[in-house]
Amino acid sequence: MKSIATFRLTKVMGFIPGLLGAYGLPFIEKWRTRKEQPEEPLPHLRQQIDALDTEIIQLFAHRMQVAERIGRYKKAQKMSAFQPQRWAEVKANRLEKGLALGLSEDFVGNLLDLLHEESLKRQTQIKLENEI
């Protein structure tokens, strides 16, 4: 009984891979890999990444503008920039969403920590304005 790989190669190549000896299947796999072309050319995929990166950076900038408005609100209400309970809720929620989308916990956690750190830095600067 022929293996599925042997049957497929026999049908596609017109011969039995065993005739090539011990190197038959790896040789055929290399040949098949070289012949296969990706669905989209690399430059097009890179353009998509570039456009997505631009959108992400714009979203980060918008997020920081909102964080600054929150900072002004907290200053007016004499609130601390860091709200531990809120941060715990936000982080848990975003980690859950990231995991559901197939992102690693480390990646999402590190990204959230960076965003939160920058938000706190901006809110603290706002709180210190005109206090000197």
Domains of the chain: 4-35 (no CATH), 42-128 (1.20.59.10)
6 contact partners, CB below 8 Å, separation of at least 6: 16, 17, 18
Residue owning tokens 């999402």: 108
Other beta carbons less than 10 A from residue 123's beta carbon: 23
Over residues 31-72, the pLDDT tens digits come to 555 556 668 899 999 999 999 999 999 999 999 999 999 999
Q: Give the residue, 65 or 9, on which the prediction is more confident.
A: 65
